[in-house]
Amino acid sequence: AQSVTQLDSHVSVSEGTPVLLRCNYSSSYSPSLFWYVQHPNKGLQLLLKYTSAATLVKGINGFEAEFKKSETSFHLTKPSAHMSDAAEYFCVVSDSNFNKFYFGSGTKLNVKP
Amino acid sequence: NAGVTQTPKFQVLKTGQSMTLQCAQDMNHNSMYWYRQDPGMGLRLIYYSASEGTTDKGEVPNGYNVSRLNKREFSLRLESAAPSQTSVYFCASSEEGAQGSYSNQPQHFGDGTRLSIL
């Protein structure tokens, strides 16, 4: 069975410092993995997607994520946080063999001035 | 470039009333989805339509019905609203991938309908 765990419900960083949002998954197959961002009162927007082409995936707004199969992780990082990064972030794992996908419970990122 | 459009944006209902939430996409996507988002629970899939003419239950379908009216439109109906259905509802769409797969395709979301049931 597939599942996805976002290890932190809230993360707080200072502007200009690195961001790390953690995501672990369990999968019996080679999954596709996604990160989405949700700003207040908005829908989710795709940040980046992993589909086995390269383990380090670059997304929009300076975010990137690294797929580590041995650790079953897909953590989201950004070298320097900006105030506009304050939002909620969702990790999603999909299993194309069964056309199923699973959302994590979300991590709220707070960026302090 | 509208993407996914949801109407209405806000609605207040009384218990027992019925209502239909509308969703339309202009990206020629095959697959469409309805989610609800509640605090601390992330997004939960209510129903989805893998392609025009098909609909399937998701994780939390009870109390809801859906209609895939055509390729563009996918509506969600609450026949008899209950306070437990107070939530933010999101519609999304995605392209069809290789061999009819859709779960490995990015989803495009609307801005949501905020529904309160008293």
Amino acid at A110: N
pLDDT digits 0-9 by tens, A13-47: 999 999 999 999 987 677 889 999 999 989 999 99
Strands A107-112 and A10-14: parallel
pLDDT at A75 over 90: yes
Q: Measure CB to CB from residue B104 to each of A46, A96, A103 and give the nearest one.
A: A96
Taking CB atoms and an 8 Å limit, are A98 and B110 in contact across chains? no
Mean pLDDT of chain B: 92
Query: Could you tell me if B111 lies within 8 Å of chain A, comparing CB atoms?
Result: yes
A2 in B contact zone (CB under 8 Å) = no
Interface touch B103/A96, C-beta < 8 Å: yes
Q: How far apart are CA A103 and CA A71, in angstroms?
A: 19
Indicate if the pLDDT at residue A69 is higher than 70: yes
- What residues have CB less than 8 Å from A70, skipping those under 6 apart? none
The verdict on a CB contact (< 8 Å) between B112 and A41 is yes
d(Cα A34, Cα A103) in Å, to the nearest integer?
9
CB pairs under 8 A between A and B: 50
Q: Summarize pLDDT for B67-104 with one digit per residue, the tens.
A: 998 999 999 999 999 999 999 999 999 987 766 677 78
Best residue of B4, B34, B43 to probe chain A, by most A CBs closer than 10 Å: B43
Strand residue runs (E) in chain A: 3-6, 10-14, 19-21, 23-26, 32-38, 44-50, 56-58, 64-68, 73-78, 87-95, 100-103, 107-112
